[in-house]
Amino acid sequence: MWLATFTKYFADFLLETQCVTLHLFRAKFLPWLLQQYGNKMEFQSWHEQCGFQRDFGTSAAAWVSYLHKECFSIDNEESKLLQHPIWSEIGPVLNAIKRCLTEGSDATVVTPFVRRCFDGMYFASHLRTKKPCDKVLAAIVRRKQELCLTPWDAAPVPQLRARESNGPLDVRQGDVVTVSPNADDQWKRSKAEVWYAYVQDIRHNSKGQTKLDVL
Sign of the Cα torsion 67, 71, 72, 74 reads positive
Between the alpha carbon of residue 97 and those of residues 16, 26, 82, 143, the distances in Å are 26, 19, 18, 34
pLDDT at position 45 = 94
pLDDT at position 211 = 82
pLDDT at position 103 = 57
Task: Using DSSP, state whether 155 is helix, strand or coil.
Answer: coil
pLDDT at position 22 = 93
pLDDT at position 69 = 92
Q: Which long-range contacts (CB under 8 A, 24 or more apart) does 74-83 make?
A: 74/11, 79/14, 79/15, 81/11, 81/14, 81/15
pLDDT at position 89 = 92
- Three-state SS string over 84-125 comes to CCHHHHHCCCCCCCCCCCCCCCCCEEECHHHHHHCCCCCCHH
Largest CA distance in the chain: 96
Q: Are 212 and 202 in contact (CB under 8 A)?
A: yes
pLDDT at position 91 = 82
Number of Cβ within 10 Å of residue 173's Cβ equals: 11
- From first to last of its 215 residues, the chain has per-residue pLDDT tens of 899 999 999 999 999 999 999 999 999 999 999 999 999 999 999 999 999 999 999 999 999 999 999 999 998 888 889 999 999 999 887 888 777 665 556 788 888 878 888 888 888 888 988 888 899 889 988 998 888 887 777 666 665 565 565 556 678 888 888 877 776 666 666 677 788 888 888 888 888 788 888 87
Say how far apart CA 145 and CA 150 lie, in whole Å: 8
* CB-count exposure of residue 127 (10 Å: 0-12, 13-18, 19+): middle
pLDDT at position 4 = 93
pLDDT at position 49 = 93
Q: How many CA atoms lie within 13 A of 10 on its CB side?
A: 30
pLDDT at position 193 = 79
Closest to 85 (Cα-Cα) out of 16, 151, 21: 21
